[in-house]
Amino acid sequence: MPKSKTAYVCTECGADFSKWQGQCPECGEWNTVQEIKLSSAKTSRSSAKSVGYAGAAAEIKSLSAIDLKEQPRFSSGIGEFDRVLGGGLVPGSAILVGGHPGAGKSTLLLQTMCYLANHLPALYITGEESLQQVAMRAKRLELQADDLKMFSETSIESIEATVQSVQPKVLVVDSIQVMFSESLDSAPGSVSQVRECAARLTRLAKQTGMVLFLVGHVTKEGAIAGPKVLEHMIDCSIMLEGSSDTRYRTLRGIKNRFGAVNELGVFAMQEKGLAEVKNPSAIFLNRGEEASPGSAVTVLWEGTRPLLVELQALVDESQGSYPKRVALGLDQNRVSMLLAVLHRHGGLHCGDQDVFVSLVGGVKTSETSTDLASLASIVSSFRGVNLARDVIMFGEVGLSGEVRPVASGQERIHEAAKHGFKLAYVPWGNRPREDVPGMKVVPVKTLDEFLKNVF
């Protein structure tokens, strides 16, 4: 009997080691190196042969001889989903869909598969729910599921045989954490099982040209559960975000080999499933009828389109020894930095004040274009002065108080003009070359100049 081989793999970065160690030398994380059992080469060859792609010799080509024709795409039936994917589904691609429990991952994929099943062979494999549960959801959502083929299985060997028999063009595996391979002794969900099952399913998708959807669980920190190498195997990683206290869901592209990264799709959870939101700016700008201090509007750039959002701030006298700095949807460290810049170059001291800053609607961003709106809302709340409701502002603020330009400035200005805004404060480097109809644009170079113009 051949001796089983073992390896030690970091669950964060996927690095391999010959022996166990407490700290991963590659990423520096502690207690992330786990032992996994490797299948023998003979087993791997036999399993590859069973799914029909063993012995296929790879053809060596020169770089100039490779066909550069664009991969044909086809629609998922949901416009916002296609936007995040880069324009549609690419044959032979592997897509990882993650999200917190109850976010709507299975609902979104079931809606997509029911649409695709009317046009091409589609197979939905469920490992967590029974077929009756999935059928009940489809009935509740009033989906046309007559042509969609269902299969309840967790064995990767059985799934490979079924795929060869059915030959679907689109395959959903829900979820990758419950799949297991009989060639490994570890339990489903372990590093070795997730790694092996994902690798075999991805290889199968590449060889057969089908689109593969893998549903992935997330940890409490919001990262995909399992080894980090899982995200390196697939072509596209998307995350469905949204809490149970709001009906809106955002689908964000984390990795995409066929389109733009950080593309954003917006959905509304309704009784009949997820409905795409054609104009996201309208829902995030649902402001009160009366103006109030601490409210400003800015323009984010998400993927390939602008998004107008409201940014609110509350500045209040601190009741404790250490003033609070809380940021929701923004980088908290950046908010602290902006308060220091405001003190040095704006002459406003908030050292004894609690400062709360939030992006309305549950939006999250790492963009620096929110700096001007953040500072304006903080000053507005501190002084109790209302900002005009038809004013838009965006721009990055440097440590020396200069206002830096941001990407896609012209598109942001025109998007704000479409929504009826009359005045825009923008960085000097983003000033438009031609007048924008119906809007006055005020370019600023420094934070002091910006504050004098606004207040």
Say which CATH number the domain at 114 has.
3.40.50.300
Sign of CA dihedral 12, 16, 19, 21: negative
- Residues 261 and 336 reside in one and the same domain: no
- Residues 216 and 333 reside in one and the same domain: no
The pLDDT of residue 50: 46
Query: In terms of pTM, does the model score above 0.85?
Result: no
- Residues 178 and 267 reside in one and the same domain: yes
- Residues 180 and 114 reside in one and the same domain: yes
- Residues 180 and 318 reside in one and the same domain: no
Contacts of 177 (CB under 8 A, 6+ apart): 188, 189, 194, 216, 217, 225, 226
Whole-angstrom Cα distance, residue 299 to residue 412?
Answer: 6
Whole-angstrom Cα distance, residue 110 to residue 117?
Answer: 10
The phi and psi torsions of 156 (rounded to 5 degrees) equal -70, -30
Tell how strand 236-241 and strand 122-126 pair up.
unpaired
Say which DSSP state 189 is in.
T
- Residues 195 and 303 reside in one and the same domain: no
- Residues 95 and 144 reside in one and the same domain: yes
Please count the other Cβ atoms lying within 10 Å of the Cβ belonging to residue 60: 5
Whole-angstrom Cα distance, residue 246 to residue 218?
Answer: 19
Distances (CA, A) of 432 to 376, 414, 449: 22, 10, 19
Q: Which residues pair with 326 in a beta bridge?
A: 356
> Domain range holding 112?
72-278
**Which of residues 261, 278, 295 is at a domain's end?**
278
Query: In the block, which residue shows the tokens 């042969």?
Result: 49
Task: Please count the structural domains in the chain.
Answer: 3
The C-alpha angle 27, 36, 130, rounded to 5 degrees, equals 105
Enter the tokens of residue 184: 């490994």
Give 142: exposed, middle or buried? Use CB within 10 Å, 0-12, 13-18, 19+: exposed
The pLDDT of residue 42: 46
Query: Over the chain (455 residues), what is each successive 10-residue block's mean pLDDT?
Result: 66 76 84 71 46 53 78 90 93 93 92 95 94 94 92 95 95 93 86 90 94 88 72 91 79 89 88 88 73 92 89 92 92 95 93 93 88 97 93 96 95 93 96 92 96 93
- Residues 132 and 195 reside in one and the same domain: yes
- Residues 271 and 333 reside in one and the same domain: no
Whole-angstrom Cα distance, residue 381 to residue 348?
Answer: 12
Q: Is the peptide bond prior to 175 cis by the omega test (within 30 degrees of 0)?
A: yes
- Residues 98 and 131 reside in one and the same domain: yes
- Residues 261 and 134 reside in one and the same domain: yes
* Rg from Cα positions in the chain: 26
Say which DSSP state 150 is in.
E
- Residues 157 and 297 reside in one and the same domain: no
Enter the tokens of residue 12: 């964060």
Could you tell me if residue 53 is inside a domain?
Answer: no
Which helix (H) or strand (E) element contains residue 284? helix 280-284
Say which CATH number the domain at 316 has.
3.30.230.10
The pLDDT of residue 281: 83
